[in-house]
Amino acid sequence: MKHEIERKFLVNGDSWRVAAEAGLACRQGYITSGAQGATVRVRLMGPRGFLTVKGPVQGISRPEMEYEIPAADAEYMLSAFCGTRLVSKIRYIVKSNDLRWEVDEFSGANQGLVMAEIELEREDQPFERPSWLGEEVSFDPRYTNAMLARNPFTAW
């Protein structure tokens, strides 16, 4: 079983764009979230579909299983199973200090929110913070994508 160890940060300014690879459109929806801390997500990342099951968060770690599925199936699940529990964003990959950051620029009901995530090998792994990195929000549940699908950033 894979464990995701992830830290999340707000992003300051646009200087990250200089090192960003071309962005990829992402639409994701939540079939269920919250039951015993488990989340079932369906995602269209560009032309590819994914189904992801995540377990309860402990610190900045949680079990995660992700499976590629046909894009047509993902599209159907988004419309048939997710209702309004949807998030749209452009995901950029930014390499900084030999690390790979995922920078998400949200749209729709979460317009104006830009977050950066880094996946680590272990929870106490040190890393150098890029200058564009802002406040850490890893422990603030409002910034999980599942919560942003239910309680969008623009409604705060």
Catalytic residues: 30
Per DSSP, what are the bridge partners of residue 8?
Answer: 117
Q: Using an 8 Å Cβ cutoff, are 120 and 127 in contact?
A: yes
Structure tokens at 138: 């890893």
> 134: which DSSP letter?
E
Q: Using an 8 Å Cβ cutoff, are 88 and 105 in contact?
A: no
Which residue has tokens 């159907």? 76
CA atoms within 13 A on the CB side of 87: 29
> 122: which DSSP letter?
S
Written as one letter, the residue type at 134 is G
